[in-house]
Structure 1
Amino acid sequence: MVDFRWTEMSFFLILVLQFTGARSRQLYYTVREGDEATLSCENVMDDQHNCDRTTWIFNYSKLQGSVELVVHGQMKNKIKSDRLSVTENCSLLIKNVTVEDVGRYTCRQFDNKPGGEQIGLDAVVYLSVVTLTQRKDTDYVIFSCSVTTRDRCTRTVKWLFKRRIVDKNHPYLRTSNSSCSATVTILADNFKQFTPHHKFFKCSVSGATDTEQPLTFNLRPSGEDTKTATTTANNLEVGTNTRGPTIDNNTTKPHGNESTMFYYNLFLYE
């Protein structure tokens, strides 16, 4: 009877360990529109030839079906094929990211037999896109910052002036905020006194998870390269600032920190 109980308990412990170790890791990437994104396949297997055991699937929303982008290492979707490629480690590279790329990306691994079955759980990546725009008319200059997400957006977007939230009583600046966008309006007559603009204005976007710190988006001086921010398998590289992607609290964390800082260039016309 004792042996039976011990065997039963051992079997239970093995099941717990298996389920704990097999959790599907979820990564969250936030990139600027127009930049590149390299989505990591966290469950990638070794001994692959041109990622022939890897398939990438895209889903824009819960109400729409999924689309196969890459099947056994080969491009499947012709519409995006000019912007998509698979890296040496089977990550998915997306060039010139647009809001249409927002969604859930699933990486699956298969055995190397014809019609092989899936091995392991899915590795899931959620991609969000930040858009910065500017508009100038006779009386005002307006900066806009917004984030597009797959599910209902819960992000908070704010414009900062000298690293602080704009004072409601500021004589020259007015701000407007919603859950996923924000604008700052500057009187055209006073616009030049805020030069260089990248030292005064920043866009702050709350993280994808409760534990993630807000992401800060700086305005770059005009003329600098606007496409230096790229995501890699286990980190996000932005100039000399490198931090890890956001991950789900309930999953194993990859190397690196949880927040990512990007630097943005907003072309301003005077």
Structure 2
Amino acid sequence: MTAQFQCYIALRHTCRCCPQELRRRMTVVKYILVRLLFTIEYAAMGVSAVLTAVNSGTADNVTLSCKNVIEPDCSSTTWLYNTYRFTDTIELVTLGKIKDSHMNEKIRLGPDCSLHIHNVSTADTGSYTCRQFISGTQHEHDALVYLSILTVVPVTNLMPGSNMTLQCLLYTYHNPGQCNNHQSNSLTLRWVSDTDTDLQGDPRYQIHTSSCNSTLTTELQWTDNNRKWGCQLTDKGEVKVSQSYTITFPVKQPTTNVIAGIMSGVAVFAAVCVAVVVLVIVRRRTGNKNETNQDKAPDSVTYAVIIHPSSQQKEKQTPAIDSSTEYATIRTVN
């Protein structure tokens, strides 16, 4: 333990310039020290701890088994919770009674003293310890359950033609995306289509995976609307947990009829524009031709005879033409 505390003090002195990073590292170190202290204590007592790993997806319901029950009515059972996010251990259940905590509304104690967690989230990741007490003294070994949560990080404001990057993370009691301990060396992540086809070899997708963190990148198409991509957590090739994410575009793809109507309207508009241009050209040419013909063609003369009757002719009513006839010339222009 002395070497561990020396490491702790050295870490504190070397990270004075980065308080946020210091707090994060100190929390991780303290968590490791607590686990190490439990291990040494159990070894000194000749007691071993039972370790169980449980993997779940977000929004699922999980059950954490207690494998060291003494009293069937759970009056000796206490559940403790540790996570990298908190420095202190949180008591969830004390001697069979659920305590007031940030999780009291989503947990309950089963008839076999197991711990049921409803609608789990990444915030529930951590280690859960089932411990037995008789008359204030611990009995039996601890039953430790490591709960890891698989999730696909959601994305927004995606449209056809844009690049989409989905991230699949396994939140562990160490840190998000970290599966470096011996218990999770066999865990792998893989991306599948909505028909469970492995996308690793598909040239359309770029997939990058490290430990328990994997990203999928692709250029979206209209056909991807309402399409589902899945991320599977496998252990030695066996699927343990699966999470999926469905892409929905904020606008709908134009239908064939709409496109045809738009194209038809564009064609009609173009035809009207062409007709107007042709009509203007014809009128201009016709006007120029009329002006030319007017300059060259001789005047057209029309003669009209106007009879102005005399007073004698009015009396005789004789339709005869005499010398009083007048001529008028009317000129018409074509």
TM-score (norm 2): 0.50
In structure 1, C-alpha distance between the alignment counterparts of 2:163 and 2:238, rounded to whole Å: 27
- Offset from partner CA, 1:129-163 (integer Å, 9 cap, x none): 11123435231343321111112512543324664
Q: Is residue 59–residue 67 contact of structure 1 (8 Å, CA) maintained in 2?
A: yes
Query: In the superposition, relative to structure 1, how do residues 135 and 196 fare at CA in structure 2: closer, same or farther (>3 Å)?
Result: closer
In the alignment, is residue 58 of structure 1 matched against residue 92 of structure 2?
no
Q: Which SS does the other structure have where 1:96 is aligned?
A: coil
- Amino acid of the structure 2 residue aligned with 1:167: G
Identify which of structures 1 and 2 has the higher relative contact order when contacts are C-alpha pairs closer than 8 Å and 6+ apart. 1
In structure 2, C-alpha distance between the alignment counterparts of 1:167 and 1:205, rounded to whole Å: 18
- Equivalent runs, 1:31-50 vs 2, <5 Å: 31-48=56-73
Question: Which residue pairs with 1:122 in the alignment?
Answer: 142
- Amino acid of the structure 2 residue aligned with 1:267: T
Question: Which residue pairs with 1:104 in the alignment?
Answer: 127
- Offset from partner CA, 1:40-84 (integer Å, 9 cap, x none): 001112442xx2110001111398221111101112233211111
Question: Which residue pairs with 1:166 in the alignment?
Answer: 200
In structure 2, C-alpha distance between the alignment counterparts of 1:265 and 1:157, rounded to whole Å: 13
Question: Which residue pairs with 2:112 in the alignment?
Answer: 89
In structure 2, C-alpha distance between the alignment counterparts of 1:268 and 1:189, rounded to whole Å: 11
Query: In the superposition, relative to structure 1, how do residues 264 and 61 fare at CA in structure 2: closer, same or farther (>3 Å)?
Result: closer
Identify which of 167, 182, 187 aligns with 2:214: 182
Q: Is residue 230–residue 242 contact of structure 2 (8 Å, CA) maintained in 1?
A: no
In structure 1, C-alpha distance between the alignment counterparts of 2:63 and 2:107, rounded to whole Å: 10
In structure 1, C-alpha distance between the alignment counterparts of 2:216 and 2:51, rounded to whole Å: 34
Question: Which residue pairs with 1:252 in the alignment?
Answer: none
Unaligned runs of 5+ in 2: 1-44, 180-186, 250-334
Question: Which residue pairs with 1:268 in the alignment?
Answer: 247
- Offset from partner CA, 1:2-32 (integer Å, 9 cap, x none): xxxxxxxxxxxxxxxx96xx63211001111
In the alignment, is residue 67 of structure 1 matched against residue 76 of structure 2?
no
TM-score (norm 1): 0.61
Q: Which SS does the other structure have where 1:150 is aligned?
A: coil
Q: Percent identity?
A: 26
Q: Is residue 128–residue 148 contact of structure 1 (8 Å, CA) maintained in 2?
A: yes
- Amino acid of the structure 2 residue aligned with 1:133: V
Q: Is residue 156–residue 181 contact of structure 1 (8 Å, CA) maintained in 2?
A: no
Question: Which residue pairs with 1:147 in the alignment?
Answer: 170
How many equivalent residue pairs? 191
Q: Is residue 165–residue 215 contact of structure 2 (8 Å, CA) maintained in 1?
A: yes
Query: In the superposition, relative to structure 1, how do residues 47 and 149 fare at CA in structure 2: closer, same or farther (>3 Å)?
Result: closer
In structure 2, C-alpha distance between the alignment counterparts of 1:102 and 1:129, rounded to whole Å: 6
In structure 2, C-alpha distance between the alignment counterparts of 1:158 and 1:31, rounded to whole Å: 16
Q: Is residue 58–residue 150 contact of structure 2 (8 Å, CA) maintained in 1?
A: yes
Q: Is residue 72–residue 112 contact of structure 2 (8 Å, CA) maintained in 1?
A: no
Query: In the superposition, relative to structure 1, how do residues 176 and 47 fare at CA in structure 2: closer, same or farther (>3 Å)?
Result: closer
* CA radius of gyration, larger in: 2
Query: In the superposition, relative to structure 1, how do residues 133 and 214 fare at CA in structure 2: closer, same or farther (>3 Å)?
Result: farther
Q: Is residue 230–residue 245 contact of structure 2 (8 Å, CA) maintained in 1?
A: no
Q: Is residue 234–residue 241 contact of structure 2 (8 Å, CA) maintained in 1?
A: no
In structure 1, C-alpha distance between the alignment counterparts of 2:72 and 2:188, rounded to whole Å: 43
Q: Is residue 163–residue 202 contact of structure 1 (8 Å, CA) maintained in 2?
A: no
In structure 2, C-alpha distance between the alignment counterparts of 1:98 and 1:202, rounded to whole Å: 18
- Offset from partner CA, 1:168-193 (integer Å, 9 cap, x none): 7x1x222232322212122212643x
Q: Is residue 158–residue 181 contact of structure 1 (8 Å, CA) maintained in 2?
A: no
Q: CA RMSD in A?
A: 2.9
Unaligned runs of 5+ in 1: 1-17, 208-212, 217-260
In structure 1, C-alpha distance between the alignment counterparts of 2:79 and 2:87, rounded to whole Å: 17
